[in-house]
Amino acid sequence: MVFAGSLFCQGSDKSEKLTFLNNEQNGMFRLQSFVHGRMEATIRIRDYEFTIKQAEDVRGVFQIDSTNPDLRVRLVKKEFPWDTKTECANTNSGNTYSCKIEIGSLEKGRYLLSVYREHGESESNFNLFAGIFGKGYIDVESANDR
């Protein structure tokens, strides 16, 4: 089953739409999106955007895995007058570095998920996971709603 929610990638000339897959089990919904990306030497940030139109009892997990320890993920809730930023916690397991954000309560709003690096110029592959989970309900804006 495919859910109508989408993310959009910015940071290069093209946009990439990521579709959330909906996996409902035991009265709990799980919207999941995966991307295998590449950070080119000349690119320092890739932005993914999603909008939650309505939500109740919803949490989120956002994680990047890479062999490059410089790659990070940041979640920004775009609000007037101030944006709220959440940085990831970095862990290492062998030659894989993970940076993860867990949000206990995702609310209605526009979110910007950024994969970035502060240092280094080397090219890097990464795997990005975006998961939205809950027992309540959610309405995520899709590309067709724009």
Q: Is the peptide bond before 69 cis (omega within 30 degrees of 0)?
A: no
Tell me the average pLDDT of the chain: 83
Q: Which residues pair with 98 in a beta bridge?
A: 65, 91
Report the predicted TM-score, pTM, of the whole model to 2 decimal places.
0.82
Q: What is the pLDDT of residue 38?
A: 93
Calculate mean pLDDT across residues 58-75: 94
d(CA 133, CA 45): 26
Confirm if 33 and 127 have CB atoms less than 8 A apart: no
Domains of the chain, earliest start first:
2-145 (2.60.120.380)
Q: Is the peptide bond before 81 cis (omega within 30 degrees of 0)?
A: yes
Place of tokens 């799980």: 30
φ/ψ (deg, to 5) at 144: -70, -15
**Sign of the alpha-carbon torsion through 63, 66, 72, 74:** negative
pLDDT band at 72 (very low <50, low <70, confident <90, very high): very high
* pLDDT beyond 60 at 14: no
Calculate mean pLDDT across residues 77-96: 86
pLDDT, tens digit, 9 for 90 and up, residues 15-38? 456 678 888 888 888 999 999 999
pLDDT band at 142 (very low <50, low <70, confident <90, very high): low
Q: 64: which DSSP letter? A: E
Cβ of 48: how many Cβ atoms within 10 Å? 27
Calculate mean pLDDT across residues 44-66: 92
